[in-house]
Structure 1
Amino acid sequence: MPELEFEFSLRPDSDPELAPYVLEFIGKSMAWDDDEGMEKIVGEIRGYKLDLAAAMVDGVDQSLLLDSVCPEISEFSQTAFGESGCHYLQKLADGNLSKQTCSGLVYINEITVDPQYRGQNIGSALMGKVGQMVEVENSLIALKAFPLSPEYGKRVPEVNVQRVKQFYERLGFTHIGGEFMVKQANLCDTIKKRQAWRKGHSNVDGFHPQNKHFA
């Protein structure tokens, strides 16, 4: 993989009614191009972080919120949530699965890599940066695993569709219906490290992060 620099921008949704609950993010990976003598954008990732917990506390209807952001998220919510809200299955220590409620949804609606730089783990690096730059803990990460056709109206070859799905499977995503795939954000490396730190410091000097007392 070439030496990369990353740039992320985050901004509230332009709709004032959505702005308290919807954050739009854009990430770019850049590499030095010797031929042009300048940095070149070699990959981009775009998406939304929806604060479902805050919306629920404020009495905002979750289905209406999801429908208002963009058509693809609305389609995803109908496939994944139905009327039951945002949930994921968490594997417990005894091996059983427990249904957990999501406090947020991170939806990746576009990830692109320059054709000349494909196969160099740039897409994986961009996905990893999302967990560092966007607050994803206790959220569900979702996307539509279907490559865009370079020519409008032309069907994407099935081999390309399978390649994209396998790419996301290697990143820990699972199929939930149609072309949609999801991943529990707490499985991301950044969150695992944060949780490991909490576990290691939970009993230091009698301090526990869930039992804070301030004078």
Structure 2
Amino acid sequence: MHVEESLNVNSDLVKARKAARRMWTDVEVYSRWLQTDLQKKAREGRTSKDILQWLGDEAIKIVIEFMRRKNGILDHSLRKFIAANSMYRISQTILLHCNTQENWPNDEGIFEFISSMIADMLSACFTNLPRVIAMKCHDDAIEKREESIRTTTRVLGKSKKILKILKKRQVPNLDFESMAYVDKWHALPKSHIHNCCSPSKRIQLPASLSSNQSLVVTIM
């Protein structure tokens, strides 16, 4: 069950999810990003800053090339564009963060920042769980309701710990509709987020994310 599929049917988001799944398989199984051997790049002795800069440079080349010949695009070209555009935004966000530090962080510091950024986004995404569970329990089609409730029961069982954590924490004052979209989180004053969340748990979203992107996550 995918939470994003319950909340969003936007064609652009569907394409982005497909591209992400394809790219993730290449990275996880083959250690490749758009046909580039990432392990080989790491073994070349480059610093983390060099690698981030290289990823951003390679990504923007793909984006520019795609925009030049977008009239005759193919599915695989679109996937490359989506992956490259995302990589460029991510690499620039990390570089911007590191460049604002008094000293450039070591590899452990960069890994900690990336892990924290991912955890913060996941925390925001998981606020959609109660809404999706409720939606699945109220399927209008009678013939689908039984299977829907069965699926929801499994999701609820797997999500109990997450829901308990959410219940203990005070989240920003957003309605269910708004929680699914990153621009609504961006619109919140920073002071409001800080008041709702402790420093170790507060949700900090990277500014590079597009304002119309949906903030949802795959559960199963």
Please give the range of the TM-score, normalised by the shorter of the 2 chains: under 0.3
Higher strand share: 1
* Bigger relative contact order (CA 8 A; separation at least 6): 2
TM-score (norm 2): 0.27
